[in-house]
Amino acid sequence: MPEKIKFTQKHAELWKFIKFTFAGSSSSLVEFLIHLLLTGVVFESLTSVPFVSPVLNYIGIKSMGFLYSYLISITVGYTIAFILNRKITFHADSNPTVSVILYIIMVIFTIFAGSWIGTVMNVTLIDKGWSATAVNAVCKIIQMAIPTLWTYPLNRFVIHRHKKPAPAEENKNA
């Protein structure tokens, strides 16, 4: 009788993508809740204090309270995603320092690319007569989904990769 192959073995790459999606969703939920707590309670008094920076104002950071809330919550969220993906999704064994540096570069790119995409979509749809509420909802979903086009491949093949086996190990396996 042939041995049954587990779904996770038969569809290993799909299973990694499912775990990646779960890690991202979980870390995004934690990030969102922390952001709400920080802006609504901890830094509420600072949300009326203006913060002026052409670069950060472009991505929506316009008050000191929002700046602190954003920096803390996004750091926690991306840190959780990094750890879950490194340990559980991809079981990476590559140099952690190099992985962290590559991850930070990817995160910075993702923040600005996502913000640019969201801004362009918001302006375009509002100009076409969409309501601001509908635009915000639609754009946020798309803005969250589009980065998967580059974050999954970068995490899978660049950031959380496996070390290549040493030549001696390759000869043993041959």
pLDDT at 106: 97
pLDDT tens by residue, 44-67? 999 999 999 988 887 778 899 989
Helices 96-127 and 132-145: angle between axes, nearest 10 degrees: 150
Q: What is the pTM of this model?
A: 0.82
Percent of the chain at pLDDT > 90 equals 53
Per-residue pLDDT band for 174 (boundaries 50, 70, 90) equals: very low
**Over residues 4-33, mean pLDDT:** 92
pLDDT at 50: 95
Gap between the Cα atoms of 97 and 94, Å rounded: 9
User: Has residue 70 got a pLDDT over 50?
Assistant: yes
Q: What is the 3-state secondary structure (H, E, C) of 111-136?
A: HHHHHHHHHHHHHHHHHCCCCHHHHH
Token pair 């203006």 is at which residue?
50
Mean pLDDT estimate for the chain: 88
- Give the angle 141-89-84 at the CA atoms, nearest 5°: 75
